[in-house]
């Protein structure tokens, strides 16, 4: 610890620092309305035809001594946000305040003192180290750039930093290709800690490392924070890593912060649907929880393009709770619970922010359409049944009417032929009483017209 004190004092006394040391719990970094749009140019004259809205208006604060974790899908703007904080990129709009001073548009001269207080650990340990320089040159570069001469010399201080991050001080003259990925990331951490910074922005510090090495690097960052009182902004997509090291967590989606909450509250009771979907994808190492797979939320569709993001809430194209207001009105980031901010019209485990839209309009419309379809189908069936009944009655009346008419015709014919039969019967009965004679009589009666003619002749 005596060496650390000897190092920090020259670094601070060799030049004026940007701000005084912030007390633990005080706001060290404040970001308001931060935007970064990358122009898209086409044609011979390279005219701008659009822009990639990598970061599109974010607001948050980082207190001294805490760790803010930033999570989200690839392409949501996490790394761009980290480079804007450290002023490696010029913001399109918004402000960045460090220690109470606006550093958004500081020039090269104004940024030089800031470089002592704000450092960055880059994502890829293989490309962030110059292969032509030795480790001693790489880690000692901040001292030479800032004009700082540590007590005992640069070499001694570099060797001390190597031992702090768990490397052999005798590797001072080796080159980056002689180290593994985890060792290279430790070299990057040593370089970031050279000037005893107040804020360290770590961009995916363990994403390119093996799982066994990830735990070592994460534990190293935690130990250094406790020893040196560092403030971290750790950017990652591994929720388990962020949960281990962070005090608060910001969830980003398509250039926006959709939820910002304390670690325990976020993991125990997420309020934004996107956060809930992310947490449902985290594997649970518990074989007894067989229902874990059924609890996973599968989002529909792909992430929209940051070139033309959706109107209103940017998550409404994939959200299962989206309504009409989500498509037209962008929800603000509000603190709905102590220590938990969310940008959602219909947050999870909470009342809707839009009282006039408490009923899910899409579900109501679908239900109304289903009811209308059922009513129409039922009325159609009823009308069809009535039509069938009417047709059946009309068909039955026609059949009965034709049967009655045929019966009446038969009865009329029978009544018309009855006098002849009676006369024939009476004449037959008078002439002879036998049964065979009526037929002859009938024939005789049929030919009765010929008899008078013969008599006349």
Mean pLDDT over all residues of the chain? 79
User: Any idea which fold 2-39+50-357 has?
Assistant: Rossmann fold (3.40.50)
Q: Which two tokens stand for residue 107?
A: 């020039």
Q: Name the β-bridge partners of 50.
A: 40
Q: Kindly list the distances between the CA atom of residue 355 and the CA atoms of 260, 324, 325, 359, 368, in Å, as whole numbers in the listed order.
A: 23, 13, 11, 9, 21
Q: How far apart are CA 206 and CA 218, in angstroms?
A: 8
Please tell me the predicted confidence (pLDDT) of residue 52. 95
Q: Average pLDDT for residues 8-31, to the nearest whole number?
A: 59
Please tell me the predicted confidence (pLDDT) of residue 430. 44
- Answer whether residue 289 shows pLDDT above 80: no
Give the residue with greater pLDDT, 109 vs 427.
Answer: 109
Spatial contact of 253 and 237, defined as CB atoms under 8 Å apart: no
- Answer whether residue 420 shows pLDDT above 60: no
pTM of the model: 0.70
pLDDT tens sequence across 192-208: 999 999 999 999 998 87
- How many C-beta atoms surround the C-beta of residue 135 within 10 A? 25
- Answer whether residue 90 shows pLDDT above 90: yes
Which helix (H) or strand (E) element contains residue 340?
strand 340-342
Choice among 93-102, 392-401, 415-424 with the minimum mean pLDDT = 415-424
- Identify the burial level of 408 via C-beta atoms within 10 angstroms of its C-beta, where 0-12 means exposed, 13-18 middle and 19 or more buried: exposed
Give the residue with greater pLDDT, 321 vs 285.
Answer: 321
- Answer whether residue 295 shows pLDDT above 80: no
- Answer whether residue 286 shows pLDDT above 50: yes
Quote the strand ranges of 89-171, DSSP E. Answer: 93-98, 101-102, 118-121
pLDDT tens sequence across 351-364: 655 444 444 444 44
Q: Which two tokens stand for residue 203?
A: 């961009």
Given the DSSP bridges, would you call strands 67-71 and 93-98 parallel, antiparallel or unpaired? unpaired
pLDDT confidence tier of residue 280, bands split at 50, 70 and 90? confident
What are the backbone angles phi and psi of residue 134, rounded to the nearest 5°? -75, 170
pLDDT confidence tier of residue 17, bands split at 50, 70 and 90? very low
Q: Kindly list the distances between the CA atom of residue 72 and the CA atoms of 78, 244, 255, 334, in Å, as whole numbers in the listed order.
A: 7, 16, 10, 19
Give the residue with greater pLDDT, 175 vs 454.
Answer: 175
């Amino acid at each position: 610890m005596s060496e650390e004190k000897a190092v920090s004092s020259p670094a601070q006394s060799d030049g004026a620092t940007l701000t005084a040391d912030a007390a633990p719990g005080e706001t060290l970094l404040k970001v308001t309305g931060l935007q970064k749009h990358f122009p898209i140019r086409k044609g011979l004259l390279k005219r701008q035809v659009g822009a990639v809205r990598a970061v599109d208006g974010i607001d948050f604060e980082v207190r001294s001594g805490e760790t803010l974790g930033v999570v989200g899908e690839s392409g949501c703007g996490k790394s761009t946000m980290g480079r804007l904080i450290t002023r490696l990129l010029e913001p399109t709009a918004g402000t960045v305040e460090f220690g109470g001073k606006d550093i958004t548009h500081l020039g090269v001269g104004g940024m030089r003192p800031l470089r002592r207080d704000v450092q960055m650990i880059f994502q890829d340990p293989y490309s962030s180290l110059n292969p032509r320089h030795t480790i001693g040159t790489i880690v000692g570069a901040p001292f030479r750039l800032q004009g700082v001469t540590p007590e005992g010399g640069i070499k001694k201080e570099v060797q001390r930093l190597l031992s702090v991050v768990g490397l052999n001080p005798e590797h001072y003259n080796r080159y980056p290709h002689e180290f593994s990925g985890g060792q290279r990331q430790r070299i990057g951490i040593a370089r970031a800690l050279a000037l005893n910074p107040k804020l360290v922005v770590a961009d995916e510090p363990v994403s390119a490392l093996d799982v066994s090495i990830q735990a070592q690097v994460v534990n190293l960052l935690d130990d250094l924070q406790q020893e040196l009182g560092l403030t971290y902004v750790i950017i990652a997509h591994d929720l388990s890593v962020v949960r281990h090291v962070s005090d608060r967590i910001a969830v980003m989606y398509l250039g926006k912060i959709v939820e910002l909450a304390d670690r325990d509250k976020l993991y125990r009771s997420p309020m934004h649907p996107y956060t809930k979907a992310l947490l449902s994808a985290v594997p649970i190492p518990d074989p007894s929880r067989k229902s874990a797979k059924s609890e996973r939320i599968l989002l529909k569709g792909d992430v929209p393009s940051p070139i033309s993001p959706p109107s209103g809430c940017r998550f409404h194209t994939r959200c299962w709770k989206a309504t009409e207001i989500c498509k037209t009105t962008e929800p603000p980031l509000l603190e709905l619970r102590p220590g938990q901010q969310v940008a959602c019209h219909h947050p999870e485990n909470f009342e809707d922010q839009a009282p006039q839209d408490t009923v899910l309009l899409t579900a109501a419309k679908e239900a109304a359409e289903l009811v209308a379809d059922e009513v129409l189908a039922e009325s159609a069936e009823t009308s069809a049944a009535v039509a069938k009944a009417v047709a059946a009655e009309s068909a039955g009346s026609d059949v009965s009417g034709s049967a009655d008419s045929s019966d009446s015709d038969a009865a009329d014919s029978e009544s018309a032929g009855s006098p002849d039969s009676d006369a024939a019967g009476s004449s037959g009965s008078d002439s002879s009483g036998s049964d065979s004679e009526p037929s002859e009589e009938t024939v005789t009666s049929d030919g009765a017209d010929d008899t008078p003619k013969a008599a006349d002749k």
